[in-house]
Amino acid sequence: MTPSEKEIERFRTLTQLPGIAAHEMRVRDYMKTQLSAYSDELVFDGLGSVFAVKRSKKAGAPKVMMSGHMDEVGFVIKQITPKGLLKFFPLGRTWEHVVMAQRVKVYSSLTGQAYPGAVASIPPHLLPEDSARRLLSLDQMLIDIGAESKQEVLDAGLRPGDMIVVDGPFVPLLGGKKLLSKAWDNRFGCALALDVLEAVAGEELDVDLYIGATVQEESGLRGAKTSGYMIEPEVSVVFESSAANDNMGDPEELGQQGKGVLLRYLDRTSITHRGLFMYATGLAERKKIPFQYFMALGGTDSGEIHTARSGCPSITVGVPSRYIHTNSSIMDYRDYVAARDFALAFLRSLDRERYEKEILSYSR
């Protein structure tokens, strides 16, 4: 099972667009264009989250929110040194082990120009033995774009606060089903939102669907809070690329690639509504969609959406991606297909009666 050429092109485009928290403009432009092809109504929150609206003809249809998030983990320029090197600050959770010596792209907010660079590293030949064994912290690292002075950097249009993303090309791996790239967290969710909307565009649903992507997830679930408040969903499905934990070969570890969609029951920011979780797992079993029970130490947009206004049953639906938050994360296309099958089955199965009897009844 491998992706089509159309899917490959969508994956390539989405993963290669730069967009850290509060700098999602290029990703949002793409999402607006694609969502507009299948919906006449787009809504935005004040931070930049974007959703297509597909309304049901059924009176009293439950309001369903489905969303990925546009931002990827990255950095901003913190300071420019007299030698023209860049000090930087992370936006999103980053591990020092995977930053050193990475290639990056630095984007000018003034001109839009991208400048290639590298996270500077000192060769071990130039370090005392005890220093060579110690890992530098992020605030000790610098980015080298080839400039020789602070003025040269300023003349290039770069300023503190400008965006830095890791350079991680999109590459299908051996066999074609595993896909290597930066930013699967969470351009997976963006791609899935577009695929789902396209699939149901010509159908009559028994729900009012709001589907799209939020902003600033990696910096604190900010877009989820504002869009959840705006939409006031009755049920939410969050699309998220989660951490796979299968590459050491232990089949008991959570997050196995190629084994199906992840249905998350617990993480640091939310406990999945029990009625919704039972409905989701029962649906996957009935439809014979491969799925995995999943919990995580991190959090997702569900953490804010499930407490929006008076509360909203919310579940995180994901794929297990290896090496997330690096320039070389890997997604398995088979899991993507399972996630898409689940999202479509969920939309096509839900109506007001099922929502109240099989989901909301657990809260009554």
Annotated binding-site ranges for Zn(2+): 69, 185, 218, 240, 325
| HSE, side-chain direction, 13 A CA sphere, residue 180 | 11
Q: Which residue type does 205 have? A: L
Residue 345 token pair? 């089955």
Angle CA 60–62–65, to nearest 5: 145
> DSSP assignment, residue 358?
I
Residue 222 token pair? 């900010």
Residue 165 token pair? 């993303």
DSSP per-residue letters across 254-298: S--TTS-EEEEEE-SS-B--HHHHHHHHHHHHHTT--EEEEE-SS
217 counts as catalytic: yes
Looking at the DSSP bridge assignments, the partners of residue 241 are 319
Catalytic residue of the set 5, 7, 203, 217 = 217
CA distance 346 to 332: 22
Q: Which residue type does 309 have? A: R
Q: Which residues are annotated as a binding site?
A: 69, 185, 218, 240, 325
CA distance 280 to 5: 31
| HSE, side-chain direction, 13 A CA sphere, residue 280 | 29
Catalytic residues: 217
